[in-house]
């Protein structure tokens, strides 16, 4: 196991795509220390910014980061195998394009966590920022597979252009959850802000808390006693089922828990 801790407090963003199990594999500790990173506009080595030690008797997790990494970006980018544990907050683009393996964040994660993710697991035991599991602005390649679990809240525009996989949010979600969603599942344990499912054409969004306001381009379809989250998990209802986004000729589904959304009772006359 490689353990990494900051040598100092960082005042500008650090790009550290090299903090990645795939990159570290087969390298000596000295090789790892000499890997290049950028701090602002300056190129430095990993060893210039971090203390790096190796414990050959511990294999998993492969990399442990301890301390404040909130200004360190792109950790685990494109990783295919292995496990990274981060004991503290971490910056943007953590686990971007993840293709396998596991990233555990025992803190908060920045924006674009799990952007364009394909496989694997990301667990955030705090909050996750805006654009979690979403692509860059102007692009449309969303999350295609894997699992993201956020134990706290998420920001705005989460799961945009999502094509597959599961995002489980144990807290609340901000605006534009599932924007342009094509497939996959988003589950929200608590409340959800406005514009949920805007422009979605497929997939499903399950909301156990209160939906602030449903868009008028969704139509009520039915009331279901329960809904399947994945192969092993089911949410107990009853749930109002809404179809849309009709403006996009979409066939996506929003499941809103009946008990926490009494204002939706007015839709029942259309069933």
Q: What is the pLDDT of residues 218-245, one digit of tens each?
A: 999 999 999 999 999 999 999 999 999 9
The pLDDT assigned to 150 comes to 98
Q: What is the pLDDT of residues 38-76, one digit of tens each?
A: 999 999 999 999 999 999 999 899 999 999 999 999 999
What residue spans define the domains of the chain? 108-270
The pLDDT assigned to 115 comes to 97
Mean pLDDT across the stretch 123-147?
Answer: 96
The pLDDT assigned to 204 comes to 98
Q: What is the pLDDT of residues 199-222, one digit of tens each?
A: 999 999 999 999 999 999 999 999
198, 179 in Cβ contact below 8 A?
yes
| The model scores a pTM over 0.95 | yes
Q: Which residues contact 51 (CB under 8 A, 6 or more apart)?
A: 4, 5, 6, 7
Mean pLDDT across the stretch 258-270?
Answer: 95
The pLDDT assigned to 137 comes to 85
> What is the DSSP track for 34-47?
T-EEEETTEEEEHH
Distance in angstroms (rounded) separating the CA atoms of residues 79 and 102:
9
């Amino acid at each position: 196991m490689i353990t990494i801790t900051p040598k100092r407090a960082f005042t500008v963003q650090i790009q550290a795509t090299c903090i990645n199990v795939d990159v570290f594999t087969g390298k000596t500790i000295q090789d790892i220390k000499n890997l290049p990173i950028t701090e602002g506009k300056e190129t430095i080595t990993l060893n210039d910014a971090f203390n790096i030690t190796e414990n050959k008797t511990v294999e998993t997790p492969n990399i442990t980061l301890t301390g404040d990494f909130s200004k360190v970006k792109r950790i685990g980018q494109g990783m295919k195998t292995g496990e990274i544990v981060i004991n503290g907050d971490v910056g943007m683009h953590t686990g971007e394009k993840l293709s396998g393996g596991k990233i555990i964040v025992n803190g908060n994660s920045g924006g674009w966590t799990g952007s364009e993710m394909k496989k694997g697991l990301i667990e955030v035991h705090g909050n996750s920022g805006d654009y979690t599991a979403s692509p860059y602005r102007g692009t449309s390649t969303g999350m295609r597979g894997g699992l993201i679990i956020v134990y706290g809240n998420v920001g705005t525009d989460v799961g945009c252009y999502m094509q597959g996989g599961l995002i489980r949010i144990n807290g609340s979600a901000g605006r534009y959850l599932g924007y342009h969603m094509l497939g996959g599942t988003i589950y929200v344990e608590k409340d959800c802000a406005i514009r949920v499912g805007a422009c979605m054409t497929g997939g499903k969004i399950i909301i156990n808390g209160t939906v602030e306001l449903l868009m008028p381009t969704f139509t009520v379809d039915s009331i279901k006693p329960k809904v399947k989250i994945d192969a092993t998990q089911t949410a107990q209802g009853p749930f109002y089922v809404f179809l849309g986004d009709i403006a996009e000729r979409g066939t996506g589904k929003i499941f809103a828990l009946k008990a926490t959304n009494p204002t939706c009772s007015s839709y029942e006359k259309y069933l």
